[in-house]
Amino acid sequence: MMAAMQQTLRGNLKLNEPMSRHTSWRVGGPAERYYEPADIEDLAEFLAGLPGNEPLMWVGLGSNLLVRDGGIRGTVIMTSGLLNEIDLLDEGLIRAEAGVACAKVARFCARQQLVGAEFLAGIPGTMGGALAMNAGAFGGETWQHVAAVETIDRFGKRHLRQPDEFEVAYRRVIGVTGEWFVAAHLRLHRGDTDTATARIKELLERRGASQPIGLPSCGSVFRNPESDYAARLIEVSGLKGTCIGGACVSEKHANFIINTGKATAAEIEALIEKVAAEVKSQQDVQLVHEVHIVGEEA
C-alpha cells in the first residue's frame, strides 16, 4: 500500500525516522512512518490513502512534545516548514498554515501594519500547535484572534470551521474528533509597523533574559495554576538544579527542564513526575504538565 502511494505523492515518506531529530528536547525513539507533505493538497491525498485505523501524530516544531524512547507506532505527519504559506486575506485578516512558526506570523503581521499578534513571537512553536493548545505568552492567547480555522480529517477532506465549534480554555482546545488544524484565519487591528516591531523586539529580549534559550527544552513544562505560577512553586520547593541523569530543572527558569546533553526521554519524564510530586508534597498544589507525552517506553 505504502509503495503504491509513494508513486503518486509529492511529499517525502521515511520509515523508522528518529524523533530525536524533530523535537526541541532532542530525544525520542523512531516513528514507524514519517511523512513530510509537499502542501495541503498532497497531505489530503496521503491521508486518503491510509488505512482507516492508522494511528496519526502531528508534529510542528516539536517544542511542546516529549516522545518516549520506544518511539511512535503509526504515522507522524510533519508540518513545520512545509505547510508554510502565510497571506493577507482581507483588511485585518491573515491566513497562516499550520507549519508557519509563530514568530514568523508575528513579524508578518507587523509588516502588514497589523497589531495584536506580537505575543506570538514568544511562542517557540508553529500555528498548528498554537491552535491545538491555545498557546499564549506575555498576556496574549492564540484563540483571542481566531476568526476561522481550516481542518482536515483522516480521509483527506478539508473543512472550514468557526470558533464557536470549539471549546477553548487555558492551554486546552476541544474540537471535532478526527480533524486536525491545517490553517488559521486571524483577525487583527490596524496599527503601526515600527511600534509592533519594537514590541516584538522587547518581548524577545524579555524571553531571552528569563528563559534558558539555546538549550534543549520544551518551553514551559507545567501549566500555571490559577492565581499562581508553576515556576514560583517549583523554585520555592527547592527544585532548581535538580537532575535525573542528563535532565535538569533549569537554574534560570524553574518551569523549564533542559537536556544537558545526553538525557533520555525516560529521564525527562521521571524528572517531570518528581517535580510534580515534590510540589504537591510541599505546596499542596497539583501541577499539570502542558507538554504532550507520547509514544512507547523503551
> Each residue of 124-182: pLDDT tens digit?
889 999 999 998 888 889 999 999 999 999 999 999 999 999 999 988 899 989 999 99
Assess if residue 21 is contained within a domain: yes
How much is the pTM? 0.88
Cell 501594519, residue located: 113
Point out the catalytic residue in the list 17, 36, 150, 290.
290
The DSSP bridge pattern shows strands 12-18 and 30-36 to be: antiparallel
Return the ∠ at Cα 258 (arms to 99 and 55), rounded to 5°.
45
Q: Where are the alpha helices (DSSP H) in 126-243?
A: 127-133, 193-210, 230-236
- The pLDDT of residue 7 is 64
Question: Is the pLDDT assigned to residue 21 strictly greater than 70?
Answer: yes
Q: Which of 176, 210, 244 is the last residue of a domain?
A: 210
Query: Is 148 domain-assigned?
Result: yes
User: Tell me: the pLDDT tens digits for 63-119?
Assistant: 889 999 999 999 999 999 899 999 999 889 999 999 999 999 999 999 999 999 999
If asked whether residues 33 and 130 sit together in one domain, one would say no
CATH number at residue 36: 3.30.43.10
- Do 68 and 97 lie in a common domain? no
Residues 235 and 258 in one domain: yes
Please report, for residues 46, 232, 295, the alpha-carbon distance to residue 34 in angstroms, rounded to integers and kept in the order given: 12, 38, 14
Domain boundary among 78, 101, 121: 78
Question: Residues 20, 24, 80, 220: which is the catalytic one?
Answer: 220
Is 21 noted as a catalytic residue in this protein? no
> Is residue 278 in some structural domain?
yes
199 and 242 belong to one structural domain? no
65 and 96 assigned to the same domain: no
Residue 85, all three cell numbers: 504559506
Out of 13, 45, 78, a domain closes at 78
Closest to 281 in 3D by CA, of 242, 238, 243, 221 = 238
Q: Return the CATH number at 279.
A: 3.90.78.10
Q: Catalytic one among 154, 171, 187, 223?
A: 171
206 shares its domain with 128: yes
| 141 and 195 co-located in one domain | yes
Nearest to 231, CA basis, from 217, 246, 245, 214: 217
Domain that holds residue 37: 2-78
Q: Are residues 248 and 285 in the same domain?
A: yes
Q: How many domains does the chain have?
A: 3
Please determine, for residue 1, whether its predicted confidence score (pLDDT) is greater than 70: no
> How far apart are alpha carbons 64 and 136 in whole angstroms?
13
> What mean pLDDT do residues 200-211 have?
84
Chain segment 251-292, per-residue pLDDT in tens: 999 999 999 999 999 999 999 999 999 999 999 999 999 999
Say if residue 192 is in the same domain as residue 118.
Answer: yes
Looking at the fold, whether 133 and 21 belong to one and the same domain comes out as no
Is position 220 annotated as part of the catalytic site? yes
CATH number at residue 180: 3.30.465.10
**pLDDT value at residue 265:** 97
Please indicate, yes or no, if residue 223 is contained in any of the structural domains. Answer: no
Alpha-carbon Rg for the chain, nearest whole angstrom, is 19
Q: Which has more pLDDT, 191 or 283?
A: 283
Is 290 an annotated catalytic residue? yes
Q: Determine the average pLDDT of the residues in 11-23.
A: 96
> Are residues 201 and 128 located together in one domain of the fold?
yes
Whether 10 and 50 share a structural domain: yes
